[in-house]
Amino acid sequence: MIRSQFPALSQTLAFLDSAATTQKPLCVIEAMNEFYKTHYSSVKRGAYSLSAKTTQKFEDARAKIAKFIDAQNENTIVFTRGTTESINLVAHTNIAHGDEVLLSVLEHHANIVPWQIAGAKIKVIPCDDNGDLQISELPNLLSAKTKIVALTHTANSIGTINPLQEIIPAIRKLAPQAKILIDAAQGAPHSKISVKELDCDFLAFSAHKIYGPTGVGILYGKNEILETMPPWQGGGEMIDKVSFEGTSFALPPARFEAGTPPIAEVLGFSAAIDWVNETGMSNILAHERQITAYALDELQKVEGLQVVGKPRDRGSIISFSLGKIHPHDVALILDEDSIAVRAGHHCAQPTMERFKVPATLRASFAAYTEPWEIDKLCKSLVRASDIFVY
């Protein structure tokens, strides 16, 4: 039983908001508790054995995450606060005012705004009415001027899984100089990702969406690219030698990890990766595919319900609206019935605009989602329709 490993999940609340954040299994909570209770210390700062042990565990986590995404070695993994900070790091260190960046209409604000702040000139890959990216537009959008292409693995708003194994080689052919960043916030938690097979230059994801704690995530970057990047934030541990005349910087990943890192969170992240490995990513994927197919069938039986987007390949996310009832009104009724869904623009306003909706309801699933939660949702949606039809 997967669900029973998650102490915050009950048999009454239908938690259908895992795309916003996932619940935590007990082993993750305990790994963090144990650290604070029995062997708390900083990393890389003490000559004493306790700190050396913590440093070892911290670095083991880095190596484990490198292996998890099939990276060349652990030095490709930079610990950050999460996907948002990872993308900001790349934007800040790679983009000069006026540089061209290619995004898609399916991006989360975290993969739009950092590029704007860095002063990039932004181009956008459109999508069709199903919510599939129009890859045939790539020749018109890429050129020798394209500095970065930053794309989501899976759209958090409508669930599209992008065919990256098709898109990335096309980008390499049309704009070999462009660096490719993949926002895997919704990808890494749901399927096996190999940065080696994808051949992306950067990849980012957050621990809290893959059963780990908040406040930590990673940026993967190819060694040879990270090594050419200037530091971002300055402080402790990111230097080689400091004097008031000038400072030389440490090699990556230390160069990008200024200050005391979130140690307990990294250890919790590590426990979350163990949990996913032990549960089996292929089992998680198979379960989520099944629950998503069931939900799609059941939701479409609800009168007046429209699913937004019909992508060729869908992650465990379904966006929908219910007649003309405002999604926030529906969400209030669902909440009365102990159902947690997201209502809003899902930090993807350009996607909402593309589909000409101000907001949607979104149900999203994870390893612990059970069919009764879907049944409960559908029943409550019928109740919401009855209340608002007048």
Cβ atoms of 288 and 316 within 8 Å: the answer is yes
Window of 180-188, 249-257, 297-305, 317-325 that interacts with ligand PLP by CB under 6 A: 180-188
- The answer to the question of residue 363 lying near ligand PLP (CB under 6 A) is no
- The answer to the question of residue 82 lying near ligand PLP (CB under 6 A) is yes
347 annotated active-site:
yes
Specify the long-range contacts of residues 200-205, CB closer than 8 Å, at least 24 apart. Answer: 200/164, 200/168, 201/225, 202/86, 202/90, 203/69, 204/80, 204/83, 204/86, 204/87, 204/90, 205/83, 205/86
Window of 105-113, 282-290, 297-305, 330-338 that interacts with ligand PLP by CB under 6 A: 105-113
Cβ atoms of 149 and 102 within 8 Å: the answer is yes
Cβ atoms of 154 and 190 within 8 Å: the answer is yes
- The answer to the question of residue 18 lying near ligand PLP (CB under 6 A) is no
- The answer to the question of residue 160 lying near ligand PLP (CB under 6 A) is no
Q: What is the DSSP letter of 3?
A: G
- The answer to the question of residue 100 lying near ligand PLP (CB under 6 A) is no
- The answer to the question of residue 257 lying near ligand PLP (CB under 6 A) is no
Window of 35-43, 82-90, 265-273, 303-311 that interacts with ligand PLP by CB under 6 A: 82-90
Window of 139-147, 168-176, 181-189, 248-256 that interacts with ligand PLP by CB under 6 A: 181-189
Of 77 and 378, nearer to ligand PLP (C-beta) is 77
Edge to edge, the sheet with strand 146-152 lists: 77-80, 217-221, 202-206, 179-183, 146-152, 100-104, 121-125
Least distance to ligand PLP from the beta carbon of 89, Å? Answer: 12
- The answer to the question of residue 186 lying near ligand PLP (CB under 6 A) is yes
Residue positions counted in the chain = 390
Bond prior to 253 in cis (omega within 30° of 0):
yes
- The answer to the question of residue 206 lying near ligand PLP (CB under 6 A) is yes
Give me the phi and psi of 55, to 5 degrees please.
-60, -40
Q: Which of 127, 200, 347, 378 is catalytic?
A: 347
- The answer to the question of residue 185 lying near ligand PLP (CB under 6 A) is yes
- The answer to the question of residue 112 lying near ligand PLP (CB under 6 A) is no
Chain positions contacting ligand PLP, by CB under 6 A:
82-84, 108, 110-111, 152, 156, 183, 185-186, 206, 208
Catalytic residues: 347
